[in-house]
Amino acid sequence: MQALAPEVRELRRQHADDPSRLRSELAKLYADHNARPLAGCLPVLLQAPVMVALFRVLASPRLAGGPNILLSQRFFVVSLAAQWTSLGSVAAMLASPPGLLVLALLIAIAATSAAAQRLSPQPAGQEQPARALVRLLPVLPAVFGVGLPIAVLLYWLTTNLWTLGQQYVLLRL
């Protein structure tokens, strides 16, 4: 896809006023070079069922008719079931160990997501609105993570750190 970036940019410039022609020309270009722009989505689609099941296990207070014993465990002094939204006011959230831990985890998740994004190769010929949206993506886990248990946030951070390390090693090799 990176090798085709100049051609994609030229096609976008040539057919800026005709979106249907642009789509057909891009499809022809990709077919001629045996490129599949959505091929990068395949690993995510394969992981999705496992991720959904894992998130469900980490976030559900009850499993198979009984309590979720994982969420009764502690991470240092904080319950893995603790959520920032269940701590009350913002002042109470920031004054309690669970609130501070959740805040630190959310910041770390956003930072590792941003770092992983910077290491990733950027799609070719991306338009301005798409670039702006891509820049916001690292913040989304932190926004959605506010209502999730600490167990999910720890998993998310671990996954981000693993991905970051993996990308760093693969790009260096």
pLDDT bucket at 128, cuts 50 / 70 / 90: low
- Measured between alpha carbons, how far is residue 69 from residues 50, 59, 61, 62 in Å? 20, 11, 9, 9
Q: Which tokens go with 163?
A: 């991905």
**Residue labelled with tokens 């951070």:** 157
d(CA 112, CA 154): 13
The helix-helix angle for 150-172 and 42-59 (nearest 10°) equals: 150
Q: What percent of the chain has pLDDT over 90?
A: 3
Residue type, 82: A
- Measured between alpha carbons, how far is residue 14 from residues 105, 124, 130, 131, 170 in Å? 46, 16, 19, 21, 36
Q: What are φ and ψ of residue 141, in 5° steps?
A: -60, -35
How confident is the model at residue 31, as a pLDDT? 87
How confident is the model at residue 14, as a pLDDT? 92
pLDDT surpasses 80 at 91:
no
How confident is the model at residue 50, as a pLDDT? 84
Mean pLDDT over the full length of the chain: 81
Q: What is the pLDDT of residues 36-53, one digit of tens each?
A: 777 666 777 887 888 788
Q: What is the CA radius of gyration of the chain?
A: 21
CB 141 within 8 A of CB 156: yes
Annotated domain spans of the chain: 1-37, 74-172
DSSP for 36-56 reads: -TTGGGHHHHHHHHHHHHHHH
In this prediction the pTM is 0.65
